[in-house]
Amino acid sequence: MRILARVRDAALQRSVVQAAERLGAELVDGAPGGDGNASSPSGAADVLVLEVEDGADTAALREQARRTDTALLLACADSEGCDGKALSEGDDWLALPASDAEVRTRIEIAQQRARGLRAQREKQEAAELIRYEELLYDRLTGFPTLPVMIEKARELLERRGELTVLYIHFVWYEKIEEIYGWQKLDDVLETTAGAVRTFYSREAASTESMAMVSHIADDDFILFTHVPVSPEMAEKRLRALAQRLESFLRERVEEDHGEDIAALCGIYVGAATVFRNPKIRTERLIYRGIREAAQAARGAEQWERTRKVNDLKSTIRDGSVFIEYHPIIVTETEEIFGFEALARGVKRELRSPEVLFEVAEEANMVWELSRLLRKRAVDGIIDDLEDGQLLFLNIDPHDFNDPTFRNLDPGDLGSVKDPSRIVLEITERTAIKDYPAFQEYLAVFRERGFRFAVDDAGSGYAGLGSIANLAPDFIKLDISLVANIDTNFLKQNLVETMVQFAEGQGAKVIAEGVERQEEFEAIKELGVHYTQGFLFHKPRYAGIPKGGGTAAFSHAQAKENQAVEAAAEKAAAAEQKAHAEARLEAAEAEAKAEAAVEAAQRAEAAREAAAESGKTGAGGG
């Protein structure tokens, strides 16, 4: 610490000297006679001790001290005269006369306060720098943003006379976050950014007239380029470039995250070309091109949604859906307790259940789709369920507004003889607004023998209040609560509380989305009753109906398929091992051959050396 004293009081001078000695500080200037004006230097000191006199410009000294990160300790002849100034201008103050201990303590306090202010200022400056950098470069992709690249775009437009803008528009990412949690969404965005970088670097290698930018505060991207072809060919070239980009991104997301996740990602590319016009400001032309390309991308999105609605209508008409059954196991014994029926569209773009129902809601066809799926799900497995196993059917709250569903009889579902083996799983895509009416519906179904489960507990609308109002037989934990639960103590506490809550209500808890053995061990330790996830069942698209027929499901066939897969994996492993052993044997044989050749060469060299030695000896004799 360095202390600079501007004081006239002799006792205070001695106290400052003593304080410096006790604190191990360097006294920059302890001599009497300081004038206390704004011109006195403080940049060489950590603490400036200033004796305040009438007419002293303490405000100017305060400003100077702030600029040099110097703590300011004001010493006043009386507390009344010093208090007002200290509150507004000093880091601390003391009234004269003051003891040596008080002077030392006040110096330390003033320095600590100044350090706190400096740290706060540095933190604010760092945050401001980060915000500034994020305006210039996208944090996820590293691409420059539009304000940075506008000059590059202007240069392209001025040099070439025209500029092509590709706008890459992403939609439906929020669905991934709702279903799988924000971590999964971040992973998908990271994959997308990496794919965009790869595509950009590959395409940019073939033309120097290309620049990629990230859109501020959005997941969209903008690509500036030039199409060096005739105007007649430009449109085809642009369309081909947009299709290549769109296909590349979709394939990369599906490759890294699977078909279900990829189905939730809408990727659309719009294009626009602007031409240099001396009468119009260049920046305005570029921004117009961006707007036109964005509108084209959103137009492609709307066209895609219209096409999906038409595909849904034909899907319902032809019965082009199949059911995928996910086993639910007893956590303690790992025996199969039941199956959840998940609907899949035969058409690839309707393969995801979330997309299927999203389109159905947009087309006002949720009831028609639900009727088809319920019948198909029951027919496909009910005769193959073993004793005590249950079938879980997903039900949307909107389904209870369907008179056909409200008046549902177990016989309407086909060969259902015991409705207690059917669990209606309430999937709250939308909030239940009228709980009294909804509870009356549930009571009627309970009288018919059906059981109920609440899906996605702990997420969205399925909170504890909703669960208490519905009084379900089963509570299914949202996948976001289960993911990485083995390393998250907060999630463990929440799940443990949910289990206790369920047992108090006479319900059982099912953990969805278990993908790792560590997660399974964690929920088992927490007392979760049942478990479901890819750890026990990999996605299997089986039972696709032909010509709209029933999608039959056979446990024996599934086991046979698993046995075949296991045998194939075992054979592949054996073949790989054999290849490895053969390669090792070949390498060893080659090494032996090389060693033999090397030994022969050494022997030959030795013979030649011996012969040469003999000749030399004979000549010398």
Say whether both 305 and 325 belong to one domain: no
Task: Specify if 78 maps to a domain.
Answer: yes
- DSSP class of residue 37 equals S
What residue has token string 């050749």? 597
Domain boundary among 66, 100, 135: 135
Q: Where are the beta strands (DSSP E) in 121-220?
A: 162-171, 210-214
**pTM across the whole model:** 0.56
Domain boundary among 275, 310, 345: 310
Out of 30-34, 191-195, 572-576, least confident range: 30-34
Higher pLDDT, 111 or 139: 111
Domain boundary among 517, 535, 553: 553
Higher pLDDT, 234 or 85: 234
Out of 445-454, 475-484, 527-536, 555-564, least confident range: 555-564
Say whether both 47 and 81 belong to one domain: yes
Task: Specify if 221 maps to a domain.
Answer: yes
Opening angle at CA 199, ends 194 and 203, nearest 5: 150
Say whether both 266 and 332 belong to one domain: no
Task: Specify if 618 maps to a domain.
Answer: no
Rounded to an integer, what distance in angstroms lies between the CA atom of residue 290 and that of residue 475? Answer: 48
pLDDT-based confidence at 547, cuts 50/70/90? very low
Q: Which domain holds residue 521?
A: 319-553
Task: Specify if 587 maps to a domain.
Answer: yes
Say whether both 129 and 150 belong to one domain: no
Give the pLDDT confidence of 283-302 residue by residue, as tens digits: 888 888 888 888 888 887 78
Say whether both 356 and 505 belong to one domain: yes
Task: Specify if 376 maps to a domain.
Answer: yes
Say whether both 548 and 581 belong to one domain: no
Task: Provide mean pLDDT across the span 461-490.
Answer: 82
Domain count, the chain: 4
> What average pLDDT does the chain have?
75
pLDDT at 254 over 80: yes
Task: Specify if 613 maps to a domain.
Answer: no
Rounded to an integer, what distance in angstroms lies between the CA atom of residue 225 and that of residue 245? Answer: 13
CATH number of domain containing 168: 3.30.70.270
pLDDT at site 530: 96
Give the pLDDT confidence of 422-460 residue by residue, as tens digits: 899 987 555 667 778 888 888 888 888 899 998 877 665
Opening angle at CA 49, ends 43 and 54, nearest 5: 110
pLDDT at 543 over 50: no
Task: Specify if 620 maps to a domain.
Answer: no
Q: Which of 73, 76, 41, 37 is nearest to 58 (CA)?
A: 37
Say whether both 323 and 209 belong to one domain: no
Burial class (CB in 10 A: 0-12, 13-18, 19+), 485: buried
